[in-house]
Structure 1
């Protein structure tokens, strides 16, 4: 049998876009075939099925999100300034007309009623992002407050990610973030 000849990461990236926009349930195999340009047999051979491709899409999205956090923290003047920069990126992203919220959050919400392995996978990836942020907060603020601040930070990120596009929302979100996260040095964004 011939080996698949396609760029796996490119197919996963295309699938992320499809699943992110439509959700898991509304992304039929026909849509997956059309989006990826692969024949159904190639998808089944490479990923097992639509669920296997979706799992890899969630894994890839989470990995890239964590890599982006690490990169931002490595280049920021301080961890707290990096967190402010990260939040500002989320605010700016969420005000774009093409904004689709967060792939992990959308998946968690879509699959909440039925639960299952895909819901658990999305939840575990969000937990991992929280762990990463907690580790950074711990370095600057100590372990006594890092867990609570990471939880608060994730809740604010969820809020920004769900709030989404509407007129004047960026300034309102910034005000909400500053009010809800007063321990961050917001003046570093000026």
Structure 2
């Protein structure tokens, strides 16, 4: 039997988009087949199941998210300025017509009643992102303060990801971030802007 030839990364990226938009439960196997271009047998051979593909999609999304955070913080003039830039980009992203929030947060919300392995996995990945922020903040603050600020930052990130349901809410989100995270070096606002 010939081995199926396909780009695994491309299949995982397409699956991220499908699961991110629809969630795990609402993404049928027929939708997975259509989105990936693979036959069911190839999906089962390569990933074991729809669940296996979903887990790999979550892993890849989390990996890319952490890589993005590292790049932004490593290239910023300071950790605080890098965090401000990340938060501002999150607010700007919420304006996109096809905005889908955060795949990990959406997975947790979808599966909260079940508390299954995917819920736990998404929670662990979000904890890893918080730890990443804490490790960067520890370069500028003591251990206890960097832990508290990383937790506060994650709470605000969750808020931005969920609050963005209102398209006209960007000014309020920016105000809320400045109010809730006063320790960050926010750029000076121009008169009349929010």
TM category (shorter chain) comes to: over 0.9
Using the alignment, how far apart are the partners of 2:144 and 2:17 within structure 1? 39
**Alpha-carbon deviations, 1:20-59, whole Å to 9, x = none?**
0000000010000001010000000000000000000000
Match of 1:152?
152
Match of 1:92?
92
Runs of 4+ in 1 over 3 A off after TM superposition: none
Gaps of 5+ in 2: none
Using the alignment, how far apart are the partners of 1:118 and 1:28 within structure 2? 17
Gaps of 5+ in 1: none
Match of 2:101?
101
TM-score, scaled relative to structure 2: 0.95
State the number of aligned residues: 190
Match of 1:141?
141
| CA RMSD after TM alignment | 1.2
Bigger fraction of residues in helix = 1
Residue 2 of structure 1 deviates from its aligned partner by: 2.0
Match of 2:48?
48
Are residue 122 (structure 1) and residue 135 (structure 2) matched?
A: no
TM-score, scaled relative to structure 1: 0.97
Could you say if the C-alpha distance between residues 20 and 189 of structure 1 is closer, same or farther in structure 2, counting changes exceeding 3 Å? Answer: farther
> 8 Å contact 1:95–1:165 — kept in the other structure?
no
- Greater RCO (CA < 8 Å, at least 6 residues apart): 1
SS in 2 for 1:140: coil
